[in-house]
Structure 1
Amino acid sequence: MSESLLTEDEGVKALVAYVNSGSAIGPVGKGKGVGYSLMKSSPTSFSWSTAIEDFEGSDTPVDRYLIKIDRRTKEFITPEPIVLSERELVDAVLAATGQHLSSWTRFTDGSMSISYKVAVKEDPDVAYVVQIRHYGSVASMDAFMTVISRTISPSVLPIPPVYPIPGELVHQSTTGMGRQIARYMPGQVVLPIYAGLSHEERLIFVRKLALAFSACWEIQLPEPRLVGELIASNIDGHITLRVGPDRHNGLGGPFHSVRDYLRAYIKRCLVLLEKQQGIEEYKEKYLHRIRIFVETRLHEIPAIVETVPIIAMHADMGPHNIIVSNQTPTEIQAIIDWEFLESAPYASLHREMDMFFRENAPNGFGPEYERADELREAFWSSIPNWKRWNESEATQTFLEWFRFGLFMQPEYRPKELADEERDSFWAENIRVVEGMLDKYSPQLNEAINA
């Protein structure tokens, strides 16, 4: 029976075709595409949060729907809108804050959430954000954010105050969707404005950012330190931390070894490369060599990487999750969206940190900002203990292997690019991959190039 069950890849193809048909949740117009995120997988069904989204993004929230497919019959169940009714908002706000709803409106969604901004009768100067989350445990997020608020100064690592809804752990496990209530933090997301800051403003900002990263990294983890999802539990006000299987990248675990984590990460990156569509020219040249390398060389990861510190992290702490002041964009108001909590080697945040030193680009690796070396120096000099680690042989060796996984799968390259743009689009992917193959598997390169 199991052989005839729909796989996740087959389910995604069916989902996209179903929504593109226009019969599911409306027509998919020009400049729009299907956005989806897996909410639940079971032996009998897959469920996704699905929306029709603008390729260029939208200033207004989009309607999202729960779409479920039966893995046995391969038939879809009628889509249902993912919403909170006014009654549900009233009850949730009262249970969490003791206050009474006066008004509400849809608010800017996160990539893994649906948001409402609400006002209350008791205090017109206070607003809350109520979010429906299907990715990550809201109870764990609330508990971990409570740890931060109890132990770290808000001037160093500012977060929105959270107001746990009683019984939310059971509610989320039953419905598959959690509800989180946090104080609304005025300001602007740093992502769209960062490139427009002056060099001096960026220097000020990255120094503060470094302190925020470091403060999170210093949170005490249970021993022995494992690599995986960091899970927080609040039992009668006492918060404990434990580490479970990695959920962010679907690696399994938890891992007792940094090398085991790196091996699982690189193998997962290979799977994603094999599935990637629209990069056939790259795959024809590199996939076979990468596959052989992964099958035969991962035992060569040096033991020194085991000394890289395993720390607590917000694994998605990029510019899209940082709110800054409207008046003073170098002032961090809040770091938000803590659904990606991990216990992992600190250097695995390489890509998130690098976002503050280089421009956005469709290939995922934009040009560095002018005087980026000064930005990096300002960042690491603000946290000297971590600067020493970042310059260590252990970290540099870790990054060599981690970046191999990170860059082995390139982004889709548009066909209409000019020759010079085409040549540069995958340049960093090729440089990293060929560098590893040349260093650790030169005989393979020579045999294939012969």
Structure 2
Amino acid sequence: MQYLPNILFAIALIAGIGFFAMNIRKLTRNIKLGKDINRTDNKSERWKNMIKIALGQSKMVRRPFSGFLHIIVYVGFIIINIEVLEIIIDGIFGTHRIFQGFLGDSFYGFLIGTFEVLAALVFIAVILFWTRRNVANIKRFLSREMKGWPKNDGNFILYFEMVLMSLFLVMNATDLAFQQAGVGNPISQFIAPLFDGFSPETLHTIERTAWWIHILGILVFLNYLYYSKHLHILLAFPNTFFANLKPKGQFNNLASVTNEVKLMMDPDADPYATPETGEEEVVPEKFGASEVTDLNWVQLLNAYTCTECGRCTSSCPANLTGKKLSPRKIMMDTRDRLEEVGRNIDANGGTFKDDGKQLLNDYISPEELWACTSCNACVEECPVNIDPLSIIMDMRRYLVMEESAAPQELNMMMTNIENNGAPWQYNQQDRLNWANEE
């Protein structure tokens, strides 16, 4: 019985980390459903972006108030959880504040004191975030895609952080020996009087209970990330590293279109031949994207990284003028469909069984796609370099080149270019008449 707590702790730790690893494998599998794309060029610039944007939060602080609060929560939560290492060692070996003996009372007290101050700041910042989401009626948190689970998810994570910070401070406040030492308790010393009159045994029970709930809460939080928008805590780093480095507004050429044009220009090619490789018939590559598997893996990584902060949507001129388009919804829909495809694969022994649905129409409507002005405001505003525009453009390409479903105005323009060499409905001989006008 002496080692029962250590055994239970080890089981909880292995189960928590094991379940997290299983979900990470599933996440990686889903992202790899996307088409291959090379994003390994210019590594020095990519590392610079990751350090500056993901680690340094440089784009977050463009909106100073929320950016400052985010930095407090981000830095505080990460630094405070350094203590998790001590908790793990204590839990496995049955020790108590093992680092105190190695680091000395002064330095250990300084570390724990810093953690306590940060915990209090995180708690305050989280309350302000909760107020902004639920009381202040900020428009970007009231959009139609932020109803139900997305709204609840944002609140759940705030409640998680409140509870974890509170447990950390209560754990320190009820640690009698720690409080009597009077070093490293700048916040918990003011909480300790709430427990005056409790016996040492009761204080120890409260401290142990807070300790257990704290570490179990961290393991639950870790595994909750996969089901939450807060997966960006982990994915913001690779997402900023693999982000597109080309100038905004520079669109890529589709390899499928290039290959088709080359085939058309090849005098020896048989336009009616069916491409074959061995005995397997090669399915012609689709122009554009109508399903998540038509997108590249970086776009799918983008979808999982989306923080649902709404900065993209709040800066979108189409959305601001009442159009149906919301770049945030584009990313949320892509992630939701990708998750649905992943569950389909899991349920069918590792292969996808046609469910009669796709990203286009079932999740994202043509009306949303054609509302986009391709101005790149959403890409510029995203704090973790997500690119909703690339998904919109690929899906519009599909509508035009596979379904001939472009809006009438666009069809007229393309017809004019084909017939007149210009977007306007003028005869080619009259195109320069404007130069003769006085």
Between structure 1 and structure 2, the one with the greater Rg is 2
Q: Which protein has greater RCO, CA pairs closer than 8 Å, 6+ apart?
A: 2
Normalised by the length of structure 2, the TM-score is: 0.23
More helix by share: 2
Normalised by the length of structure 1, the TM-score is: 0.23
